[in-house]
Structure 1
Amino acid sequence: MEQTEQQKQEHNFWQDHSLHFLEMALRTDRHESITHPDGYGKKTGDCGDTVEMFLTLRDNHIRSVSFQVYGCMNTNACANTLAHLAEGKTLEQAWDITPEKIAEFLETLPPDHIHCAELAAGAFYLALADCQEIRKQPWKKAYR
């Protein structure tokens, strides 16, 4: 029996990507909006994808990262990777997570989708900046 073109593409998809990429692209347990996060950031890319990041802190460490992605599987993979790399780190350490580190972890992020890593990192940096602002004026957290 001859494979259809779609079956060949699906087969190639599974073989063409690393296990890290597949796990992060298909993972959905972090898709959550937090009502009063310790840090919030939202960014929309030129491609039209949007990432919203929600950070929860404990003792100056990132306890959890949740997010909403309105976009492609590559953007979801990048947002999940960012969350994976950030959880447990201090705010200062988290600033060192770059789009390049996200792509390196994923191993097989298509080169024409590095903008997805930049988008996830951009939303994350906004959330980190928001954390720092909220720490200066904690009363603002209740008025989001």
Structure 2
Amino acid sequence: MEQHHTHDVEHDLQEAREAGLSDEFYAHALTPQNVGMLPNPDGHAMPKGACGDYIELFLRIDDDLITDARFMPEGCLNTVACGSAVTSLAKGASLREAAEIDAERIEGLLGGLHKDHRHCAVLAAATLKAAIRDYLKKRSEPWKRPYAK
């Protein structure tokens, strides 16, 4: 049975304060953008990070343009902030532009991350790439879509 972990928000906030993180970080961590699910997404992914956190990502794609991106996080404030940042960067981007969003760009939007949490930006970028791959696979095999879980 998978062990569910919880995060102590007060501890995360104290760590962020000590690291001197930016207002942008706090905005995305405490009032994240694009939280939620998209029914029948065009692209979907939910890889788990080394720390056990994950970002479930949903994409709506129209004519190779990401028209909507939503996420459901499970993890610390850094994971929440990175999910918010990656969806903010992806919305309105072409698939080619979105595929180039990397951890450094996510961290840049947040004004930096504590060095111990840079892996959260790596997870967010990897999740976006996995959701794009999921879309491309579905597009190449459209007959499977009605049977997808």
Instruction: Output the TM-score relative to the length of structure 2.
Output: 0.82
Specify the alignment match of 2:67 in structure 1. 63
Amino acid at match of 2:94: T
**In the TM superposition, what is the alpha-carbon distance from 1:139 to its structure 2 partner?**
3.0
How far apart, in 1, do the equivalents of 2:70 and 2:144 lie?
20
Structure 2: 5+ residue stretches without partners: 1-9
Larger Rg belongs to: 1
| Identity in percent | 35
How far apart, in 2, do the equivalents of 1:105 and 1:70 lie?
21
- Is the 8 Å Cα contact of residues 42 and 53 (structure 1) preserved in structure 2? yes
- Is the 8 Å Cα contact of residues 21 and 112 (structure 2) preserved in structure 1? yes
How far apart, in 1, do the equivalents of 2:90 and 2:17 lie?
27
**In the TM superposition, what is the alpha-carbon distance from 1:14 to its structure 2 partner?**
9.3
Greater than 3 Å deviation, 4+ residue runs: none
Specify the alignment match of 1:54 in structure 2. 58
Structure 1: 5+ residue stretches without partners: 1-5
Specify the alignment match of 1:94 in structure 2. 98
**In the TM superposition, what is the alpha-carbon distance from 1:112 to its structure 2 partner?**
1.2
- Is the 8 Å Cα contact of residues 43 and 58 (structure 2) preserved in structure 1? yes
Alignment: residue pair count: 136
User: Deviations 1:61-115 (Å, cap 9, x if unpaired)?
Assistant: 0011111111000001011110111111111111110011111111131111110
What is the root-mean-square deviation of aligned Cα atoms in Å? 2.1
- Is the 8 Å Cα contact of residues 38 and 141 (structure 1) preserved in structure 2? no
